[in-house]
Amino acid sequence: MITHVAEAGEDRGRVLLTLGSSGRLSDVALEAAVRLAQAFHSELESLFVEDLQLYDLARFTFARETSRSGRTTRALLPSVIERDVQLQAAALGRRVLVAATLLDVRARARVVRDEPARALAKACAEKGPWNVVTLGEPFGATDEGALSELFQTVDATTGFVITGPKARRTKGPVVALVEEVERLPSMLRAAERLASVTGGEPRIWLLEDGPDRLAWLDGQIRLSLGLKAAAIKLEAYDMMRSDIGALAASLRQHEAGFVIARIGGRLASADEGSVPIAALLEGPLFLAR
């Protein structure tokens, strides 16, 4: 597992904040991206993708756009969608730059017209491999397909940050959900760095099936931590006796900020792009490869 994030000036990667034509940008996602860049002394780049599908859609004679309130519906023309999208891109780009400036993070804005996954893959590949992708739009139940595509398409990345509809903070304990002992050092390091800028404290939650296996993992982790074990809060979570909903509830109860998990683990299926816990958390979920 890699949780490395390229430092500013390293010229090999950065924090990439994806923005879409819908114009939706979660406040928590934006703050998470800026905090991440701040924690790793990295550069923040917003990538606004003008979804090609929208332009295809606008070329249909029967294309209609219904307003968010549902009160008005109008014909959708290519020229109209182009103008609206460009205005949206400019507005979001400014918002990102302002947020970054407030925390002294170097930032820039970029606009491309492409399919979202492909555009992101290209952007990451340009400066691979140490990119962390933060999804600007709140993660919804119908976004799993898109996420799966991202996991598979975007290689040059060390992780994705996802914020769900309940997300409301980045502050609070940074919880690393550890399932394998060998992942501990990098996850703990990432947790410590994030905690240094969010004002929380790094914590480790161990996930394993059954008390025996959990006890063994706990022992291994403590051995690995050595003297640090006394200073870091460790909690063991038996997944045999619980489920993801209960885990999320516990994390909410502890008012966790960032939660770090691994792609391909029990919380994030790399193939299906299924991350049900993301929709339940009150903080950003950092999925590391």
Partner 1 sequence: MIFKWPIKTKAAPSPATDAETETTVAVHRGDAIEKATSAPPADALVPLTPLELRRVVDAKSLGFKTTADLAPAGGLIGQDRALRAIEFGMSIRAQGFNLFVMGPPGSGKSTAVRAHLERHASKEKAAADWVYVNNFEDAVRPRALKVPAGRAMALQRGISAAMDELAVTLPAAFIGEDYQMRRRAIEEENRAGHDDAIDVLTRKAAAQNIAVLRTPLGFALAPMHEGRVVKPEVFKQIPESMRREVEGRVASLQKELEAALLKVPKADKLRRKLLAELNEEAAKAAIEAALDEVSRDFSDVPEVGAYLAAAEQDLVRSGPALLPAGESGAGVSKSAFRRYLVNVVVAHGQSAGVPSIEESNPTLGNLVGRVEQASHHGATATDFLMIRPGALHRANGGFLVLDARTALRSPEAWEALKRALKDREIRIEQQPEAPGAGATKVLEPEPIALDLKVVLLGDRDTYFALRASDADFMRLFKVQADFDDTIKRTKENDDAFARIIAAVVLKHKTKPVDAQGVAKLIEESARLAEDSERLSIEVGRLADIVQEADYWAGIDKREVIGRRDIARAIDEHVQRGDRVRDRAQEVFERGIVLVDTEGAKPGQINGLSTVEAGDYAFGRPARITARVHLGQGRITDIEREVALGGPLHAKGVMILWGYLAGRFAQSYPLSLAATLVFEQSYSAVEGDSASAAELFALISALADVPIRQDLAVTGSVNQWGDVQAIDGVNQKVEGFFDVCQARGLTGKQGVIIPRANAQHLMLREDVVESVRDKWFSIYAVSRVDEGLEILTGLKAGEAGSDGQYPKDTINARVDARLRAYADNARSYASRRGEATS
Cα–Cα distance, 125 to 131 (Å, whole number): 9
Cα–Cα distance, 70 to 66 (Å, whole number): 6
**In the block, which residue shows the tokens 């997300």?**
167
Report how many residues bind partner 1 under the rule CB under 8 A.
Answer: 41
Nearest approach, Cβ of residue 184 and partner 1 (Å): 30
Q: What is the distance, to the nearest Å, from the Cα of residue 96 to the centroid of all Cα atoms in its chain?
A: 16
Nearest approach, Cβ of residue 212 and partner 1 (Å): 30
Under the criterion CB under 8 A, does residue 79 sit at the interface with partner 1? no
Nearer to partner 1, 51 or 218 (CB): 51
Nearest approach, Cβ of residue 136 and partner 1 (Å): 12
Nearest approach, Cβ of residue 3 and partner 1 (Å): 26
Helical (H) or strand (E) element with 278:
none
Residues 1-40 that bind partner 1 (CB under 8 A): 20-24
Cα–Cα distance, 166 to 251 (Å, whole number): 13
Under the criterion CB under 8 A, does residue 129 sit at the interface with partner 1? no
Nearest approach, Cβ of residue 78 and partner 1 (Å): 10
Task: Build a one-symbol-per-residue string for 189-228: x at contacts with partner 1 by CB under 8 A, - elsewhere.
Answer: ----------------------------------------
End-to-end CA gap in the chain: 5
Task: Build a one-symbol-per-residue string for 49-78: x at contacts with partner 1 by CB under 8 A, - elsewhere.
Answer: --x-xx-xxxxx-xxxxxxxxxx-x--x--
Please, what's the largest Cα pairwise distance for the chain? 68
Under the criterion CB under 8 A, does residue 140 sit at the interface with partner 1? yes
Nearer to partner 1, 26 or 157 (CB): 26
Query: Among 172, 186, 194, which residue's Cα sits nearest to residue 256?
Result: 172
Cα–Cα distance, 111 to 277 (Å, whole number): 30
Cα–Cα distance, 36 to 159 (Å, whole number): 12
Nearer to partner 1, 26 or 186 (CB): 26
Q: Are 159 and 289 in contact (CB under 8 A)?
A: yes
Using alpha carbons, list the distances in angstroms from residue 254 to 153, 172, 250: 34, 8, 6
Q: Give me the residues that bind partner 1 (CB under 8 A), please.
A: 20-24, 51, 53-54, 56-60, 62-71, 73, 76, 81, 84-85, 87-88, 138, 140-142, 145, 165, 168-169, 171, 253, 255
